[in-house]
Amino acid sequence: MTSVLAVAKHAGVSTATVSRVLRGSLPVTAETRARVLEAVEQLGYQPNEMARSLRSGRGRGVALVTGDIEQGVYAALARDVQAELESIGLDLLLFNLGHREDRLHHLLERAPSLGLRGVLLSSPHVMDMARIGPVVEAATAAGVDVLSVSQDLSDFGLRSIVHDNVGGAAAAVRHLCGRNRGPVAFIGRIATSAIGRARFEGYRKGLAEQGQAPDPTLVWDISHGYRADAGYRVTGKALADGLRFRSVVAASDELAIGAMAAVADHGLSVPGDVAFSGFGNLEWGVYCRPSLTSVALDTEAIARAVGQTFSAGDNGAALPACRVIPTQLIVRQSA
Amino acid sequence: MTSVLAVAKHAGVSTATVSRVLRGSLPVTAETRARVLEAVEQLGYQPNEMARSLRSGRGRGVALVTGDIEQGVYAALARDVQAELESIGLDLLLFNLGHREDRLHHLLERAPSLGLRGVLLSSPHVMDMARIGPVVEAATAAGVDVLSVSQDLSDFGLRSIVHDNVGGAAAAVRHLCGRNRGPVAFIGRIATSAIGRARFEGYRKGLAEQGQAPDPTLVWDISHGYRADAGYRVTGKALADGLRFRSVVAASDELAIGAMAAVADHGLSVPGDVAFSGFGNLEWGVYCRPSLTSVALDTEAIARAVGQTFSAGDNGAALPACRVIPTQLIVRQSA
DNA sequence: CTGAAAGCGCTTACAG
DNA sequence: CTGAAAGCGCTTACAG
C-alpha cells in the first residue's frame, strides 16, 4: 500500500506537508497543495486509518450498544445513526447486549484501548449506575464520548437524547379514553426497563387526567419476558382470569401484536371488543389487519442529535444535557 | 493509560516479554509469565488496539454490508454475526447501503486502509462484478477476507454462505399445490435482487414439478419498490385488474404482509380466498392473524459458518467455496 | 528463554 | 509556508 512517504516523494515535498494538505489544517501554498493532491490522485493513496488513530490518540469508531437489535425500533435507530455517522466520517460498531447487561461494563472498560470515539447507550435496561458510573467516567476521561440515546441519564452526567415516552403514552391513553375505551390496561417492562417505566408513567399520567388511577390488576409488567410472546401470554392470562378491559396501551408494537393475537384467539374482536395502541410505528403494524395504532418514534431525529454532538467538537458544551425528541400518536384501525 | 512499558517495568522484564506473554506465542518461563500477568492485573493494563493493529498490519473489525438493516432478516443476521464475531475477539462494523450500491465500491476500496479483517456482503442486490471485482481483489490481496453471505458469488472467487432459497420457494409452491391452491402467484424483486431471482427460480421449479410453467401475469417483479408497501400495491393492482390466483409465494415476510393486507382490503379472506407464504419466519408473522406461513432462514447457521471462516486461519482453504444452509417451510394459518 | 532495537504509517510541535 | 525529527504503543526478527 502506498504511504505518505511515497506521496511526498512523488510530489517533491515532505511527509509533513502531505499530512497538512490532507488534514487541511495549517496553511499551505495553493500550488504545493495542488501538487500533493495530484500525487494523491495518481497513486490512489488512502491514508492508513490505524496509523492515524494511533498517532492522534483515538479512532473513528462509535459503538452503538443495543439490548436487542431485532426489535424494529433499534434496527431503525442503527440504520439512521449509521447514515448520520458516515456523513461525518465516523464508523458504527454494533454491540448487541442480548439483554446480558454485564457485557456493557466490559465494553466501556475496553472503549479507550479500542480508541472508540464514542459509545451510544441504547439498551432500555435500568442501568446499575453504581457499577457503570466509574467505568463511564474513566472512558470519558480518556476522550470517549458516552451518550445515552434511550433513557435520561443526565443526572449521572451523561448527555442524553431521549424520546418523549411519557407524552406518547399519555397521548395514547387520552385517545382511548376519548373514545370511551376504558378500562385501559398497560403492558410493558416496568421493573427492568427505564423506557418501560417512562411509558408506564405516561399511562399513569394519562389516566390521572381523567381522574383515574391505574388498576393494579390491569398493569401487566412483563419484565421476565420480551417481545410478542410476552404480550401474547400475559394478555391470554388476563382473559382467562376474566379481567375486564376495553383497551390496551402496549409499550412496543411487538407486545401489541402479541396481545392482539391473544384477544383474537380468545374469540374477541379488535377494536370492537378491545382496542390497542403500540409504540414504534413499525412498518408491519401499518399492514397487519386491523392495522396498529402506535406512538411514532423519530429515530432520525435521535440520529441527527447524535451527529451534532460528534460534530460539535469543543463547543459541545453548548448542547443541552438532555434533549427530548417529540413523539406522535398515529391512529389506525386498532384503536 | 498504562502501556506495555509500565507493565514491563513493574514486572522487571522487557516489553518484548510482556508482549509474548500476552500473545501467548513464543515460550516463556512459568514464573516470568506469572510475574507479567500479575503486573497486568495490578495495573489494569489493556493493550492498545490501535497500536497493535498498526503493527500487525490489520485490525479486528469485520464490516457487515446490508442493503436494508430494517428488514427483519438482516437485523437477525446482524445480531447473530455480532455474537459470533465477539466470541472470537472480532468487532462488527455496520454498513447499511440503503440500496445505494455505489457505496459498496467505496467501502471495499477503503477496507485495507481501515485495517478491516473482513467484509461480509449481505446486500441482496445483483452485484456488478465487472465493477466490484477489481476492488474485491485488491482488498483480498491486502489481507481482507471478503465473503458473500447472501448470494452465491463463488464463481467470482468469493467464498459464499447462502440459504437454500431455491429449495425454500419450491417447498412453498409444493405445499400450496398440495392443498389445491393454484394458480400460484409470485411477488419478489427479480431484476435487481440475486436472492429474489433464486426464490423465483424455486417458484419456477416447484411449478415445474407439477407440470406447470409460470403464468407471466402472475409473476410480479417489484424491483422498483421495497418491503410491505410494494407488496400491497402490486397485489392491489392485480386484484383491480381482475387477475385470478388462489395463493401467493412472497419473497419476504414484509412483502407477504403487504400483499395480505391488499387482499383483506379487497374484501377477500386469507387463506379462504387467497393463501400466502413468506420468507424469513419473522416473529410478527407468528402473531399476526391469520399467522403467516413462511420459509424459515437460519441466520445462526450463517453466523457460525462466518465464524469458522475467520477462525480457520491458514487452513481456511479446506472450507467449501459455497456453503448452502437449508431452509424450512413453517406452516401456519395463512396457507 | 529473554532483551535491545527497529519499525508499522502517520501527525505535530519545533525550527527555520 | 515548509522540512527534519520525534514519537504514538505495540510486535517481531535478530542476537544472545
pLDDT 10s digits, B138-152: 999 999 999 999 999
Band (B317; pLDDT cuts 50, 70, 90): low
**A112 contacts in B (CB within 8 Å)?**
1, 46
Residues whose CB falls within 8 Å of the CB of residue B169, separated by 6 or more in sequence, listed in order: B198, B199, B200, B201, B202, B203, B205, B206, B249, B251, B279, B295
Whether residue A276 lies within 8 A of chain B, CB to CB, comes out as no
The answer to whether B55 CB sits below 7 Å from nucleic acid chain C is yes
- Of the listed ranges A241-255, A278-292, B307-321, the least confidently predicted one is B307-321
CATH number reported for the structural domain that contains residue B263 in this entry: 3.40.50.2300
Place of cell 431471482: B197
Residue (of A170, A167, A148) closest to A159 by Cα position = A148
- When CB atoms are compared, the residue of B64, B93, B96 closest to A83 is B96
Average pLDDT over residues A17-29: 84
Q: DSSP labels for A104-131?
A: HHHHHHHHHHHT-SEEEE---BPP-HHH
Helical spans, DSSP H, in chain B: 4-11, 15-23, 30-43, 49-56, 72-87, 102-114, 129-141, 165-178, 194-209, 227-240, 253-265, 283-287, 299-312
Burial label, A211 (beta-carbon count in 10 A; 0-12, 13-18, 19+): exposed
CA of B17 to C1' of C8 (A): 19
Band (A24; pLDDT cuts 50, 70, 90): confident
pLDDT score, position A317: 65
- Tell whether A217 and A245 lie within a shared domain: yes
The overall average pLDDT reported for chain B is: 94
**B258 contacts in A (CB within 8 Å)?**
287
CA B305 to chain centre: 11
C-alpha cell at A281: 410505528
Q: Is residue B330 part of a domain?
A: no
- When CB atoms are compared, the residue of B68, B113, B232 closest to A287 is B232
- When CB atoms are compared, the residue of B54, B70, B232 closest to A79 is B70
- Tell whether B107 and B152 lie within a shared domain: yes
Q: Is residue A102 part of a domain?
A: yes
pLDDT 10s digits, A237-264: 999 999 999 999 999 999 999 999 999 9
Q: Is residue B34 part of a domain?
A: yes
Q: Is residue B95 part of a domain?
A: yes
Average pLDDT over residues A210-236: 95
Tell me the angle at which helices A253-265 and A227-240 cross, rounded to the nearest 10 degrees.
Answer: 40
Amino acid identity for residue B63 in this structure: A
pLDDT 10s digits, A98-139: 878 889 999 999 999 999 999 999 999 999 999 999 999 999
pLDDT score, position A23: 85
Residues whose CB falls within 8 Å of the CB of residue B26, separated by 6 or more in sequence, listed in order: B20
Nucleotide nearest to B57 (CA to C1'): C8
Residue A315 confidence (pLDDT) above 60: no
pLDDT 10s digits, B1-57: 788 999 999 999 999 999 999 987 677 888 889 999 999 999 999 999 999 999 998
pLDDT 10s digits, B159-207: 999 999 999 999 999 999 999 997 999 999 999 999 999 999 999 999 9
**B112 contacts in A (CB within 8 Å)?**
1, 46
pLDDT 10s digits, B207-224: 999 999 999 999 999 998
CA B266 vs CA B75, B92, B228, B260, B334: distances in Å: 32, 44, 16, 10, 16
Place of cell 501554498: A29
- Tell whether B170 and B289 lie within a shared domain: yes
- Tell whether A158 and A272 lie within a shared domain: no
- Tell whether B192 and B268 lie within a shared domain: yes
B295 and B139 Cβ atoms separated by less than 8 Å: no
- Tell whether B169 and B292 lie within a shared domain: yes
SS3 A10: helix
Q: Give the number of other Cβ atoms within 10 Å of residue A236's Cβ.
A: 17
pLDDT score, position A310: 92
- Tell whether B139 and B169 lie within a shared domain: no
Q: Is residue B33 part of a domain?
A: yes
Band (B314; pLDDT cuts 50, 70, 90): low
- Tell whether B258 and B304 lie within a shared domain: no
Q: Is residue B274 part of a domain?
A: yes
CA B127 to chain centre: 15
According to DSSP, the residues that pair with A275 across neighbouring strands are: A247
Whether residue A290 lies within 8 A of chain B, CB to CB, comes out as no
- Tell whether A201 and A146 lie within a shared domain: no
- Tell whether A41 and A10 lie within a shared domain: yes
Tell me how long chain B is: 335
- Tell whether B125 and B176 lie within a shared domain: no
According to DSSP, the residues that pair with B159 across neighbouring strands are: B147
Q: Is residue A334 part of a domain?
A: no
Whether residue A271 lies within 8 A of chain B, CB to CB, comes out as no
The overall average pLDDT reported for chain A is: 94
Average pLDDT over residues A166-177: 98
CATH number reported for the structural domain that contains residue B20 in this entry: 1.10.260.40
Could you give the CA distance from residue B158 to residue B137 in angstroms, rounded to a whole number?
9
Place of cell 406518547: A168
- Of the listed ranges A29-33, A68-72, B286-290, the least confidently predicted one is A29-33
Comparing every residue's Cα with the C1' atom of nucleotide D9, the nearest one is B51
- Tell whether A200 and A139 lie within a shared domain: no
When divided into structural domains, chain A yields a total of 3
Q: Is residue B53 part of a domain?
A: no
Could you give the CA distance from residue A278 to residue B257 in angstroms, rounded to a whole number?
18
Q: Give the number of other Cβ atoms within 10 Å of residue B185's Cβ.
A: 26
The parent domain of residue A202 ranges over 165-296
